[in-house]
Amino acid sequence: MTAGPLVLGIETSCDETGIALVRGRTLLADAVASSVEEQARFGGVVPEVASRAHLEAFDATMDRATAEAGVALSDVDAIAVTSGPGLVGALLVGVSAAEGLALALDRPIYGVNHLAAHVAVDRLVHGDIPEPAIALLVSGGHTSLLRVDDVTLDVTPLGATLDDAAGEAFDKVARLLGLPFPGGPHIDRAAVEGDPTAIDFPRGLTSPRDDAEHRLDFSFSGLKTAVVRWLRAREAAGEAVPTADVAAAFQEAVTDVLVTKALRACEDSGIGTLIVGGGVAANSRLRALLDQRAGHLDVRVPPPSLCTDNGAMVAALGAALVERGRPPSAPGIGADSSLPVHEIVVAAMRSGLPPPGAGIVEG
């Protein structure tokens, strides 16, 4: 058995109930229950459906995680839970459960940032993150380039999407093509049979004109509009839609820009490690392009099951926080739907209780 703190990680920010146990850098169990099939009927994530599904799945998922890891909850050294960003109602299910457990077990609790957790999960696969590193974070709600000086303390945004997230673009284009939600994996599969050069879709914010102001930013809404226009023209001409070609050409446009800008961030900063995380990091073309174009860079992409939302990422960040002696959150961590990426651990009492000294009238 490897050494290190035993950390329970709880993730409920969107439609996956993820509960995992990590000891140091070793993943002991990673149980995930997804409400995605239920959500697919609505063509997207309905917040109330997600919250209810977390409540219903929670106990069984916890039982699976502890059984698989062969540990009792009383063995746990610390608890980490996603505090944001995400859907408030969904986040609160995990946060409430985690706070109850922390209280009952008398263990420290860390309310953590989902985005930093997507980066930290890589330590379970490739070992400790060589810092500084550049991280490309590509999920359903976020697309950013980050400089990671310390994944437990110091993460700086270098660029982000100005409009749609990469995963959102995949989901919207899938819908246009009549593919189920969430669209990313379906486009990935459909594209295998397609020709990525069949249609020359636009690469957002890559012109020399954009270089000064948006060198490391992304934009995918123009690409989505280009797909809509292309499909409409086909329809108007009474021609059939070549789904595989559209999927492949769209996927090529997204992944080309993601890889170009991620490599550019590494070059600009002189940093030799690139970590890729978030659901879109599961994309096979993105992984292949990184392989082809990375050159001498150390590119770290976790296996697909650790790219999409899970509890392991939260536990991985939690274990790093414990190992580096970071102070835990105070009780009352709450949920923050738009927690900024640089806020890695919520300090607690962000709202509700006044800061020390507030309300004291001098004189």
CB nearer to ligand KG4: pick between 76 and 119: 119
- Tell the smallest beta-carbon distance from residue 236 to ligand KG4 (Å): 29
User: Cβ of residue 39: shortest distance to Zn ion, in angstroms?
Assistant: 15
User: Using the rule CB under 6 A, is 139 a contact of ligand KG4?
Assistant: yes
Amino acid letter, 79:
I
CB of 295 to ligand KG4, least distance (A): 24
By CB under 6 A, residue 194 contacts ligand KG4 = no
Selected range binding Zn ion among 2-10, 176-184, 256-264, 304-312, rule: CB under 5 A: 304-312
Q: Is 113 in the site for ligand KG4 (CB under 6 A)?
A: no
Q: With binding defined as CB under 6 A, does residue 82 bind ligand KG4?
A: no
The least distance separating ligand KG4 from the CB of residue 320, rounded to whole angstroms, comes to 19
302 binds ligand KG4 (CB under 6 A): no
Binding partner of residue 177 among Zn ion, ligand KG4, none, CB cut-off 5 to 8 Å per kind: none
CA dist 275 and 260 (Å) reads 14
Q: Which is nearer to ligand KG4, 99 or 188 (CB)?
A: 188
Given 256, 309, 336, 343, the residue binding Zn ion (CB under 5 A): 309
Tell me if 159 contacts ligand KG4 by CB under 6 A: no
- When the beta carbons of 108 and 140 are compared against ligand KG4, the nearer one is 140
The residues binding ligand KG4 (CB under 6 A) are 14, 139-141, 167, 170-171, 182-185, 188, 278-280, 282-283, 308-309
The residues binding Zn ion (CB under 5 A) are 139, 309
